Structure 1
Amino acid sequence: MQRDLVSFPLSPAVRVKLVSAGFQTAEELLEIKPSELSKEVGISKEEALETLQIIRRECLTSKPRYAATAELGKKCTALELLEQEHTQSFIITFCSALDNILGGGIPLTKTTEICGVPGIGKTQLCMQLAVDVQIPECFGGVEGEAVFIDTEGSFMVDRVVDLAAACIQHLHLIAGTHMGEEHPKALEDFTLENILSHIYYFRCRDYTELLAQVYLLPDFLSEHSKVRLVIVDGIAFPFRHDLDDLSLRTRLLNGLAQQMISLANSHRLAVLLTNQMTTKIDRNRALLVPALGESWGHAATIRLIFHWDQKQRNSTLPFMATVLESPECSESPQASNSMITCDLALEAMRKQRGGQPGKVNTGPQS
């Protein structure tokens, strides 16, 4: 079983340099020489020697334990996996059309990537989901917490306050239609202060900080077991400058994707990534495609593209959401989305007042 470097007792500075150089597991360092490691990572030969000694010693002493863990991890039948899929929970988006094509919302235990041009609403949806993930279970939510990793500085706490306040008001409207005590009682803790205190915000300004933060997440999640959503808003931004080595970039991105998949499965949470678009020249045509290349295109389990609907650009239906990749995609590849450019929660409330129930369910979701 491969062991991640973050699990070794290395200094934070050395650990970050190893990850930045593309090393992810101990097995990648077992055959390397101290002089080679020193040159490739950018540390002294003494630090390289000490690092290799720690890794080799830890691998020797912990080999039986990790072998046993690997065996235990394989003991899962196909029937058990099928049952897990059938009982899968989702984080609703407050957009019924988007929830429908996703099979119920953003699924737990999977990675979802949202691609789109600037200003189309990717960050808006991320902030909305950071609130939605905290909806109590009796309302059809997962009653969890959120980690928000911001690489572009797009996070606006004032906007989150608006979304949270609207969501609280919407749930109070739903609770008012039920005679039982379960719904009003659940809303006692669903306050603006509690919602904001359960969104853990991290600002990463370059790819080194992003990699370090992602590889430190397992320890953070062990201390915050209720986290059900990890958001990386702007996965491409740190890798589009200060990194000219394309092979290194590909290796770092692949390692990052594997770490995200591992987090989603081991902690039973949803991972949401946003990505920018770039121009690709194909047969004298300029096409907008997701950034980071074709190899990254298969990293996420579900991939969506938000794009403008030119026919209705000036109406209440400004753009479309297209599913590029999803194991549970409905037959229709596209769905109109009318809520990204306005307040998603307020839109659901307007539907509720107009006699059309919002997407929030009052019972468990299937």
Structure 2
Amino acid sequence: MDLYDQLPNSKLAFLAEYAVVLECLIEKRVTVTDLLTLKAAELARIVPRSINEITSFQRALKDEYKDLIFGRNRSRLSVVQNCVKTFTSGDAGIDEVLRGGIRTHGITEVFGGSSTGKSQFLMQLALTVQVPVENGGLNGKCVFITTEGGISTKRLEELITQKSRLLPGFEHVSQDNIFTVNCNDLANQEHTLQVQLPVLIERNPDIKLVIVDSISHHLRVELERKTFRDSHDNRQYIDKMAQNLLKLANDHSLAVVVANQVGDKPVPETPVPNPSTNGDFTGYSYQVGWTVGWKDSSIYYRQVREGLLTDSVNTLRTQPRSNIENILSEDEDYKIVAEAAFARKRPRDESNTSKESSKSSSSQQLSSSARSGRSNSPSPRLPLMPMGRRRKVETKIPNLGLSWANHISVRIMLSKIYKASPLIKKGQLDINEMTDTNNFWQVHRTLRVVLSEYSKRPDVDFIISSQGIASIKQVEQDT
């Protein structure tokens, strides 16, 4: 009997009048679906109880479901929309894109590759939620659940010190208002989310934010994925986990923010000439680019390679590979750095070759071939100018798939790439004095809102400093 799984708050499991019937149902492994679909006479052949007892239990179970779907719980969902609150992310530029900041009554996902700033962003939110309401916070506490190691208390203290000098209201912020839990494995994580977290929130109504960093770490390691049955069970597990988190957010008017790791979706090595799903815009492979925040060029390139665009697929057999690659834009930063590296190397090579040529030829005599405009000595060999290249096709997608994505309210992507240094672009660096060409590059971080019902779409360039996550626009205004 899966009554507790289907209706965790059901009163039927605790009423004495149904205790014997429930025990028999459990013994005979009758499910909630059986009780809702089978007639009482059919169930009486399986369960050794009277038809009246079974009918009474069925009626009570259907009433609970009717109340859940059509009753006060459903009307409560419309009221929730008017109760949604926001709190600041700690940066005005990011708040502007998020239309006020992080919202309650929903799940916000922050995903990105390694060292893109996910944990830094989450730690900053754990502090800003404590700020008084008049200063943009919720005057609440936070539960910070980690799965990849403990939270850095030293970094939190640094953020509190630095933010106190910049933002009003941070004098009320303290690490004492953050409940921290470290989950070492999937069983521990499941117990924390399903048992300990609801109890902690009930005892501490001031909790306004739940953070999980990261939600997918143990899932991707411990869940079996060998068979179709495993895949089906995993989707149900993820779906149930998301529903529980969403229920906590709605029941207690709090925000749930989780970090998610990324996987890789490689591009097909050769174009698909005769795809079976040609132009199927309802397929996940067709839509994945928009749901994970890829650039338009990457989305179009992948759809051509995978044979999902009809007009492109029909001409793939006659199109050379170079024409397909032209879908991607030129990597201008690579070209700038390559030219700088070439210019840095060229004078040294020219001087070396000129010395060698002066030793092998006489300055007082010219050969007949030289008089005719030819030379027997080899010409100076200069390094070849590196050719330009196209931008890389994006391959990173957040873990947990569509089962998880259907439950999140906001999806935020953090990315980190390397672009040519501004001084290189302006020609203000003495490239011959630089000993390491790595200095030609500079880290470029971007925050993008991929999914949201109320947020803007423009990207936000940001930096990570002692003051936390800060948009470039805000830094320029402060300076």
Return the TM-score normalized by structure 2. 0.53
Change (3 A) 1:281 1:151: same
Is 1:279 the counterpart of 2:264? The answer is yes
Partner deviation per Cα, 1:18-62 (whole Å, 9 max, x = no partner): xxxxxxxxxxx996656799xxxxxxxxxxxxxxxxxx9xx8998
Shift of 1:287: 1.1
The letter for the 1-side match of 2:396 is L
Q: Map 1:121-132 onto structure 2 (within 5 A).
A: 121-132=117-128
Pick from 201, 221, 246: which aligns with 2:231?
246
Shift of 1:351: 6.3
Partner deviation per Cα, 1:197-216 (whole Å, 9 max, x = no partner): 11001111122111111112
RMSD across aligned C-alpha pairs, in angstroms?
3.8
Shift of 1:114: 0.6
Pick from 411, 419, 442: which aligns with 1:303?
411
Aligned residues of 2:208 and 2:254 also touching (Cα < 8 A): yes
Aligned residues of 1:145 and 1:198 also touching (Cα < 8 A): yes
- State the partner residue of 1:288: 396
Q: What CA distance in whole angstroms lies between the structure 2 residues aligned with 1:117 and 1:331?
A: 20
Shift of 1:9: 8.7
- State the partner residue of 1:233: 213
Q: What CA distance in whole angstroms lies between the structure 2 residues aligned with 1:30 and 1:252?
A: 27
Aligned residues of 1:306 and 1:320 also touching (Cα < 8 A): yes
Pick from 325, 330, 334: which aligns with 2:456?
330
Change (3 A) 1:331 1:289: closer
Structure 2 residues without counterparts, runs of 5 or longer: 15-22, 32-53, 225-229, 270-392, 422-438
Change (3 A) 1:242 1:8: farther
Change (3 A) 1:261 1:169: same
Pick from 110, 116, 137: which aligns with 1:114?
110
Is 1:162 the counterpart of 2:158? The answer is yes
Shift of 1:229: 0.4
Pick from 179, 196, 208: which aligns with 2:175?
196
Aligned-pair identity (%): 23
Q: What CA distance in whole angstroms lies between the structure 2 residues aligned with 1:69 and 1:198?
A: 37
The letter for the 2-side match of 1:238 is H
Query: In terms of Rg, which structure is larger?
Result: 2
The letter for the 2-side match of 1:213 is T
Structure 1 residues without counterparts, runs of 5 or longer: 11-28, 38-55, 175-182, 358-366
**What is the total number of aligned residue pairs between the two structures?**
293
Partner deviation per Cα, 1:124-166 (whole Å, 9 max, x = no partner): 1111111111001222211000001101115211111111222
Q: What CA distance in whole angstroms lies between the structure 1 residues aligned with 2:447 and 2:420?
A: 14
Is 1:343 the counterpart of 2:339? The answer is no
- State the partner residue of 2:101: 105
Aligned residues of 1:136 and 1:143 also touching (Cα < 8 A): yes
Q: What CA distance in whole angstroms lies between the structure 2 residues aligned with 1:214 and 1:207?
A: 11
Aligned residues of 1:95 and 1:337 also touching (Cα < 8 A): no
Is 1:218 the counterpart of 2:214? The answer is no
Shift of 1:103: 1.2
Greater RCO between the two (CA within 8 Å, min separation 6)? 1
Shift of 1:234: 0.9
Change (3 A) 1:101 1:246: same
Is 1:152 the counterpart of 2:148? The answer is yes
Shift of 1:68: 9.2
Aligned residues of 1:97 and 1:337 also touching (Cα < 8 A): no
Q: Secondary structure at the match of 1:209?
A: helix
Q: Secondary structure at the match of 2:221?
A: coil
Shift of 1:258: 0.5
Shift of 1:294: 3.2
